[in-house]
Amino acid sequence: MTIDRARKDKPPLPLLALAAIGVVFGDIATSPLYALQQGFNEQGMAPTAANVLGLLSLCLYALLVIVTGKYVLFVMHANNHGEGGMMALGALARGATREYRRLTRAMIMIGLAGAALFFGDSVITPAISVLSAVEGLQVATSALKPWVLPIAAGILIGLFLLQRHGSSLLGHVFGPVMALWLLAIAALGAAVILRHPTVLAAANPKYALLYMAHNGFRGFASLGAVVLVLTGAEALYADIGHFGEAPIRLAWFVLALPALLLNYFGQGALLLMNPKAASNPFYLLVPHALLYPMISLAACATVIASQAVISGSFSMVRQGIQLGYLPRARVLHTSSEMEGQIYLPTVNFMLFAAVMAAVLLFRSSGNLGGAYGIAVSGTMLLTTVLMLVVAWRNWRWNIPRLLVFGLVFLTIDAAFFSANMLKIVDGGWFPLLLAAAALLVMSTWRRGRELLLQRLHAEGENLDEFISRMTEDSPLRADGIAVFLTASHEWVPQALLQNLKHNQVLHRRNLILHVDADVDTSHVESGLRSEVSKLGGEFYQIVLRFGFAEYIDVPERLRAIGIEPGLDPDKLTYFIGRDKVVVTEKAQMSRWRKALFAYMTRNAMPATTYYGIPPRQLIEIGTKIDL
């Protein structure tokens, strides 16, 4: 897809905030559909007055401390040149610890684990959100129960078909709908609070402490339900690249947070008046005359909830590709106004398949409740660890400040994660399995690329020595300029060696081009974006640097740097080696992982396509590599 990439003036802050409501806040704003219900289900706590006030108090302070305190005020401040998410945060931490090799490796693995858990959450969120909304039909009439699953599946199919139009379109369409949803749930909650204002006592933290003290282990286990009010907090950070910090913060403080608190307290007031409402406190909060309109609005809102994590997944996968942790895939830029709005067809299809598998496997939001929370709480815990490293190295926090931050948030996150680990047998294995698969793919691709480069260098020739040899005994020279893509600054590209070996000829001028997208920033500063070095013998080394959130267009960048006066990049000839990986019994990586790497190599988008190199200017030379 080719579009004009010139940035236009951004819309006013209120309009951006409205669009952010439509894309960023869907997940966390639809948590009232199922969070308290999970806390008081058959395996949960009895809906006594003390338990209602205690659990409600925990939910209140979870929103204030974790979402507002940690994410909105601290984590969002750690954006990587405007980009957020676990990949971006991991890149920041990696760059901050380069002088400590072992610590750097640990930061890489923590960042990958956090990204993998986010992928698991991206599958569970659409499934449980849409199912919980459509299940409101059961509250209206039991006759519609058989239709819940087909309707939910149809909504999800429509959602994933819409992704190709981009989050910009979805934000403009969904923003007003999401704002209406938040206003509606706020009004429902406020109406019941006015009838039973004693529920406001839950604002006193003593009820949370008494709840935990009186219920012991069962109270600790119920923290798994409290985590559900926090689902979507990571999306606030992951979607910074789509809208920026200011619109997201404005939308949170002005609309999202007040609406959520009013609805949760409204559900609490309803439970104080009628403990039997614990079966579905959200929909029983709705007057019967408004039930069907509210179900329709909830269905729209849960589509938005799914959109938040889907768009966040697109951003994270693109970051992973450019940081070298995932195979190249097709990336479509869906907006000429904002760099971060993208669509990845392959990722969209894989997410769709996994979400539909979750819906068909678990079949209800109640069953999915056991699977939810592990990925969320695990991601929150790893985010805190990376944040401590960034605060230590980049922000230069002193030791007392680091200790306070670490003790507060590591303790809370570890408690949430431990409570959710109790739900592994009840479905928690599903997101962990998805996360393990994602982590395996990322670590295998990274390690495979390292071994591949080692093999190429072992059979290669030093670039300086090669140029000296060509200067002393130069072969025939053909007219034109050849560009040889290479992954290394020091070694002769395999395509150059093979071309010389078989054709016995060099071009008049040869450009050794290295595209460096494995950098720790989202956008490279203008002075560092390109580097040209004359090596002698009409050989030039060119380094093009792209941030992990930038659009890669090699011909356009070559045109911008002006290698020589009058050079027409459209007349360059690009040479690149196409590696054929052959799995052997050599050590360093297990055979089955090598086979997985070889499969990903065969199916990855060609580097030339990813770099925007025109096919008519390309010559590929195959190289067999025993791995």
pLDDT tens across 446-485, in order? 888 888 877 776 666 788 888 888 877 778 888 888 888 8
Residues sharing a CB contact under 8 Å with residue 265, sequence separation 6 or more, in sequence order = 56, 60, 189, 193, 199, 200, 202
pLDDT (tens digit per residue) in 134-169: 888 877 777 777 888 899 889 899 888 878 776 555
Domain ends where: 408, 441, 474? 441
Q: Quote the domain boundaries for residue 618.
A: 459-626
pLDDT, tens digit (0-9, with 9 covering 90-100), for 392-420 = 888 889 999 999 999 999 999 999 999 98
At residue 176's C-alpha, the angle toward residues 172 and 179, to 5°, is 130
Return the pLDDT at 4: 36
Are 339 and 464 part of one and the same domain? no
At 57 the pLDDT is 96
- Residue pair 225/38 in contact (Cβ under 8 Å)? The answer is yes
598-609: pLDDT as tens digits: 888 888 887 777
- 385 inside domain: yes
454 assigned to some structural domain: no
pLDDT score of 257: 95
pLDDT confidence bin for 201, thresholds 50/70/90: very high
Is the pLDDT reported for residue 613 higher than 80? yes
Question: Do residues 377 and 506 share a domain?
Answer: no
- Residue range 250-284, pLDDT digits in tens: 999 999 999 999 999 999 999 999 998 988 899 99
Are 499 and 565 in a shared domain?
yes
> Which tokens hold the place of 241?
């690249």
Tell how strand 505-516 and strand 476-485 pair up. parallel
Rounded to two decimals, the pTM is: 0.79
Residue 243 lies in a domain: yes
Asked if residue 468 and residue 417 are part of one domain, the reply reads no
- Domain co-membership, 357 together with 480: no
Query: What is the pLDDT, as a whole number, of residue 208?
Result: 95
By CB atoms closer than 10 A (0-12, 13-18, 19+), residue 551 is middle
Q: Are 69 and 193 part of one and the same domain?
A: yes
In a domain, 435, yes or no: yes
Please report the DSSP string for 239-274 in residue order: THHHH-HHHHHHHIIIIIHHHHHHHHHHHHHHHHH-
| 315-370 pLDDT, tens digit each | 778 878 877 888 888 877 665 555 556 788 888 999 999 999 989 888 887 778 77
In 3D space, the residue among 34, 564, 26 whose CA is nearest the CA of residue 303 turns out to be 26
For residue 216, is pLDDT > 60?
yes
pLDDT digits (tens, 9 = 90+) for 220-256: 988 888 998 998 888 788 777 767 788 999 999 999 9
In a domain, 413, yes or no: yes
Show the DSSP H helices in 373-428 as ranges.
374-393, 399-421
Residues 422 and 480 in one domain: no
pLDDT value at residue 520:
62
Q: Are residues 514 and 415 in the same domain?
A: no
Would you say 367 and 377 are in contact if contact means Cβ atoms under 8 Å apart?
A: no
d(CA 287, CA 210): 33
Per-residue pLDDT, 99: 73
The domain total for the chain is: 2
Domain end (from 441, 468, 495) = 441
| 415 and 493 together in one domain | no
Distance CA 302, CA 34 (A): 12
Nearest to 310 by CA among 261, 269, 352, 247: 352
Residue 9, domain member (yes or no): no
Which CATH number belongs to the domain containing residue 196 in this structure?
A: 1.20.1740.10
Q: How far apart are CA 596 and CA 377, in angstroms?
A: 30
Per-residue pLDDT, 65: 95
Mean pLDDT throughout 84-97?
A: 78
Indicate whether 348 and 297 sit together in one domain: yes
In a shared domain, residues 418 and 559: no
163-174 residue pLDDT tens: 877 655 555 677
Would you say residue 374 has pLDDT above 80? yes
For residue 429, which amino acid is it? W
Let me know whether 423 and 479 are in one domain.
Answer: no
Last residue of a domain, one of 410, 441, 472: 441
Per-residue model confidence as pLDDT tens digits over 17-31: 888 887 788 889 989
CA dihedral 164→167→172→178, nearest 10 degrees, is 110
Q: How confident is the model at residue 55 (pLDDT cuts 50, 70, 90)?
A: very high
8 located within any domain:
no
Query: Considering the chain, what percentage of its residues have pLDDT values greater than 70?
Result: 91
Instruction: Note whether residue 215 is domain-resident.
Output: yes
**What distance separates the 2 farthest-apart alpha carbons in the chain?**
94
Which residues does 587 contact at the CB level (< 8 Å), separation at least 6? none
For residues 499 and 532, give the distance between their C-alpha atoms in angstroms, rounded to a whole number. 23
